[in-house]
Structure 1
Amino acid sequence: MRLPQATYPFVEFAAILRSHGFAVAPDQTIGFIEAIGLLGPRDLGDIHAAGLAMLAIPPERAEEYDALFRAYFAGQAVAAPASGDEEDALEVHEPQGRRQEVDVPEDESEVGGEAVAAERLSHREFAEMDEDAILQHFRRMAPPRLPRRKSYRRAPSNHGDRLNMRQTLREAVRRDGEVFTLHRARRKTRQRRIILLIDVSGSMQERTDAMLRFAHTLAQSADRFEAFTFGTRLTRVTAALRISQRPEALGRVGELVADFDGGTRIGDALGAFLNVPRFAGFARGAAVLVLSDGLERGDPTEMIHAVQRLSRLAWRLDWISPLAGDAGFAPRTEALQAVLPWIDSLSDGSSLDAIASHVLTLGSAA
C-alpha cells in the first residue's frame, strides 16, 4: 500500500533515528504518524512531543533526539554536547538564512604553524586574474572526463550485457511474432557528485581567490556538484557558484562567507559538515575534494575522526594542498600525517593547472 505523500517526512525522520542507533520499530513509526494526526499538528512542538511519546526516546538520549529533530525539521544541526563556552561554537551557514551552531570542545595545544583559531569575520572582493585560459580549457574538457557511476536505468546498446526484452518484443509485434534480432541493453551512467570543501582561512589567503574561481568553473561543468567554505565556520556556497556570470557569482560568495582570512578549525568544520544529515548524504558515493593546506590548530583528534568518517562515506577523498607543489614536500603537522591512510591522494594544489589536471584524472579512477 502506498503511503500518503504527507507522511513521508515522518517516516524518513524515523529512519534517521534508526540510523543513529535509536530502537524505533515499524509500529512505533505508525503510532508516531497517528499521534501527529491527532494533534493537528499546530506547530513543530506538537511533532516533537509526538516523537518523544511514541518513539520511546530514552531520557539520557533526549538531547541527541532534539538535535536530530532540529536538523531534519528546522534545518538546524547540533553535534553531540561538548564542554566549552558559546564562543567555541562553530556556525554552519546556508544562503537561505538558516544558521546553526555546532559545539566543539576547547583546545589548548597548537598544531599547524601559522594557522590560528581566532575568528575574524570579513567579506572579500575578487579581482580578475590571468588564469582564464586554464579555466576555459578545463570547462571544455571536464564534462566527459568527470567521474561517473552506473545507474539503475538501462539503455539500448549493441554490446549490452542483458537482453532488451521490451524492444525485442515490440519489434516482434510489428513483424507478426517473428523475432529477427535479439536487442540488448546496458546500464546507463551518471556523473558522480563532486564536493569541494574549500579552506578560506588566513594560511590559505594567497590561494583562496584562485580556488573559488576554479570552484565556479567546476559548478558550470558538473551536473551534480556541491561546494562549502570553511575557516571558523562552514558555509554552503553551491547556489552562488551556480550563477553563470563569474563576477556576479563570486560577488555573491563574498557576501555569504564571513570568515575569510581568519582562523583554522578544519576538524570542527568537517565534523559540522558530517553532523548535518543532508550534507553527509551529499558525500555518500561522491568524489570529495578538500582544498586545504591541512594546517590544523588544536587537538588533531577532531580532524582525524572527521576524515575517517568522511572517507567511509565518500567514493574517494582527495586532499589538495598548495604546499604539495614543492618537490620536497612532506606532511609535517600531526593531523595531516595521521589522516594519510584515510585519503586516496595528497595532491598538488599550488596552481590552477595542477588542480584542474587532478580533477580531470578522477574519471579514469571510476
Structure 2
Amino acid sequence: MSELTKLPRAARAFVSFVALLRANGFAIAPEQTTAFLAAIGLLGPRAPEDIRKAGLATLAPPPERRATYDRLFRIHFLGGEELRDDESEDDEVVRLQEEGRGDDEPPLADQANESGAMAVRAEALAERRLMPGGTDDALRRLAREAERRLPRRRGHRRMRARRGPWADLRRTLREAARNDGEVMRLGRLKRRERPRKMLLLIDVSGSMKARSEDNLRLAHTLVQAAPNIEVFTFGTRLTRVTRALRLKRREQALAAVAHLVSDWDGGTRIGDALQAFLAVPRFSSYARGAAVAILSDGLERGDLAALRDAVAKLSRRAWHLSWLTPLAAGPGFVPQTEALIAVSRFVDDMVDGGSSAAVVAHVLSLGQKGRAA
C-alpha cells in the first residue's frame, strides 16, 4: 500500500498536489504540507479559489514562479480547463505520476507520433498495449546471471573469512579454550557484500518507440532477478513503475505499466523529467550510491541547460552513471547530437542501447567496474 493510499480519502488530493509542486522544482518542507492541510481544514473551502489561496499562504511559492503555481493548480484541481484566453498550458511543466494514479489521466492522444521517427516537444497522452513477447536469449541470460554478476557493495556487517583486515577475537578465544588456552590460528573477519542499488530511467517518447517495449521487458526481468531495483519512465512526464514490474507474470506486469504510463510516444523533454525526479527527495534518494542507467536516444527537444544540470547532479549522487543509446550502435561512437555532447562529460559510459543483448551485456558488466567499492 502506497503512502498516498494510507491517507484519508479527503486529504489525498491535497498531498498529491504538494508532490506535483515538488516534482516541478518547488521547495516545500513537510511542515508546510501539514500547515496546508490545517489551513484547508480551518477554511472549510467552498470554492477552488480558497484552496489556491491557502496554498499561496502556506506553501509560499516564490513570486517569480507564481504563474507556474497557478497553472499546476488548474492542472491538478481543475483538469487544466480554466486557462485564460491569453495563456496556454505551460510547456515547461513536467507532471509527476505516482503509481496507482494513471486512471486519472486522459486516455487518448490528440496527436500521436505514429512512426517514432523524430523527437518532438509537445505532450501527447496515449494508451499503449504492451505484449509480453517471448523470452529471448538475452533476457534468459540476465535472469540466470544477474544474482552473481550485478554490482555489489561492501556492507557494514562483518563475516568470517579465510583472510581479512580484522581479527575475529571471539572465534579465536573460543577455539583457544578448546585447546587448553593455546591459540592455534587467528580468525579473520571481512565486510559482507550486499547488492548495490540500481536505477533504470527508460525513455518512452516517440523517438524511442521501437525500443520502449523491449526495454520494459528487460526491466521486468531485472526487477524479478534482483532486489534494490527502481524503474521510472519518462517522456513528457515522470512515472514510477517499479511496483507494477514486481508482478511475477510478465503479461500482468506490462499491462499494469501500460495503464500507469500516459505519455507513450509523445514529446521528448529529458532534462525536465530528470529535474522532476531530482526534485522529489524520496525519488532522488534512489540514485544515491546506485548504478544508474538511462535508456534514451538523447534526442532532446527541451532546455539543454536543464538537461546538463540534471545529469550533473545525478552523476554526483550515483556510484556509476551509464547512458545507453541506440545511436551508439557502431564501434568508436562519438556523440553527434547536442544533448549527448552536453552530457557526455558527466556520464561514466555512453554505450549501445539499440538491442536487448547490448543492454544486458552492459548491465552484467557493471559488477566488474570497481566490484564491492
TM-score by length of 2: 0.71
Contact 2:131 2:254 in 1 (8 A): no
Give 1:359 deviation, angstroms: 0.7
**Number of equivalenced pairs:** 295
Tell me how far apart the structure 1 counterparts of residues 126 and 140 of structure 2 sit (CA, whole Å): 30
2:171 maps to 167
Contact 1:228 1:237 in 2 (8 A): yes
The reply on whether 1:318 has 2:322 as its aligned counterpart is yes
* Aligned equivalent of 1:115, options 119, 122, 132: 119
The residue identity in structure 1 corresponding to 2:327 is L
Tell me how far apart the structure 2 counterparts of residues 84 and 152 of structure 1 sit (CA, whole Å): 53
* Aligned equivalent of 1:219, options 217, 223, 230: 223
Partner SS, residue 211 of structure 1: helix
Encode CA deviations 1:324-343: one digit per residue, 9 max, x unaligned: 11457532221210111100
Partner SS, residue 149 of structure 1: strand
Tell me how far apart the structure 1 counterparts of residues 122 and 36 of structure 2 sit (CA, whole Å): 38
Tell me how far apart the structure 1 counterparts of residues 175 and 158 of structure 2 sit (CA, whole Å): 18
Partner SS, residue 196 of structure 1: strand
Partner SS, residue 347 of structure 1: strand
1:301 maps to 305
1:124 maps to 128
Partner SS, residue 362 of structure 2: helix
Tell me how far apart the structure 2 counterparts of residues 42 and 88 of structure 1 sit (CA, whole Å): 28
The residue identity in structure 1 corresponding to 2:215 is M
Tell me how far apart the structure 2 counterparts of residues 91 and 98 of structure 1 sit (CA, whole Å): 12
* Aligned equivalent of 2:350, options 343, 346, 353: 346
Encode CA deviations 1:9-48: one digit per residue, 9 max, x unaligned: xxxxxxxxxxxxx9xxxxxxxxx9xxxxxxxx999538xx
Encode CA deviations 1:41-69: one digit per residue, 9 max, x unaligned: 999538xxxxxxxxxxxx9x9437xx9xx
2:150 maps to 146
The residue identity in structure 1 corresponding to 2:170 is R
Contact 2:271 2:302 in 1 (8 A): no
The residue identity in structure 2 corresponding to 1:316 is H
Contact 2:329 2:354 in 1 (8 A): yes
Give 1:174 deviation, angstroms: 5.0
2:275 maps to 271
Contact 1:195 1:288 in 2 (8 A): yes
2:74 maps to none
Tell me how far apart the structure 2 counterparts of residues 182 and 328 of structure 1 sit (CA, whole Å): 52
The reply on whether 1:333 has 2:333 as its aligned counterpart is no
2:359 maps to 355
Tell me how far apart the structure 2 counterparts of residues 96 and 286 of structure 1 sit (CA, whole Å): 25
Give 1:84 deviation, angstroms: 8.7
Contact 1:237 1:256 in 2 (8 A): yes
Contact 2:352 2:358 in 1 (8 A): yes
Tell me how far apart the structure 2 counterparts of residues 169 and 363 of structure 1 sit (CA, whole Å): 37
The residue identity in structure 2 corresponding to 1:165 is L
2:38 maps to 45
Give 1:276 deviation, angstroms: 0.5
Contiguous gaps of at least 5 residues in structure 2: 1-26, 40-56, 66-86, 104-116
Tell me how far apart the structure 1 counterparts of residues 191 and 352 of structure 2 sit (CA, whole Å): 35
Contact 2:268 2:302 in 1 (8 A): no
* Aligned equivalent of 1:257, options 246, 251, 261: 261
Give 1:167 deviation, angstroms: 2.1
Tell me how far apart the structure 1 counterparts of residues 288 and 302 of structure 2 sit (CA, whole Å): 28
2:61 maps to 63
Tell me how far apart the structure 2 counterparts of residues 93 and 145 of structure 1 sit (CA, whole Å): 32
2:285 maps to 281
The residue identity in structure 1 corresponding to 2:213 is D
The residue identity in structure 1 corresponding to 2:152 is R
Identity of aligned residues (%): 49
CA separation of 1:114 and 1:328: change in aligned 2, threshold 3 A: farther
Contiguous gaps of at least 5 residues in structure 1: 1-21, 23-31, 33-40, 47-58, 68-82, 100-112
* Aligned equivalent of 1:133, options 127, 132, 137: 137
Encode CA deviations 1:136-193: one digit per residue, 9 max, x unaligned: 1221011100011111110000111110122223334555644332111000111111
* Aligned equivalent of 1:199, options 190, 195, 203: 203
1:365 maps to 369
- Quote the RMSD (CA, aligned, Å): 3.5
The reply on whether 1:228 has 2:232 as its aligned counterpart is yes
CA separation of 1:45 and 1:165: change in aligned 2, threshold 3 A: farther
TM-score by length of 1: 0.72
Encode CA deviations 1:255-287: one digit per residue, 9 max, x unaligned: 111111011110000111111101111101100
Partner SS, residue 63 of structure 1: coil
Encode CA deviations 1:187-238: one digit per residue, 9 max, x unaligned: 0111111100000000000111110011011111122100000001000001
Give 1:131 deviation, angstroms: 5.0
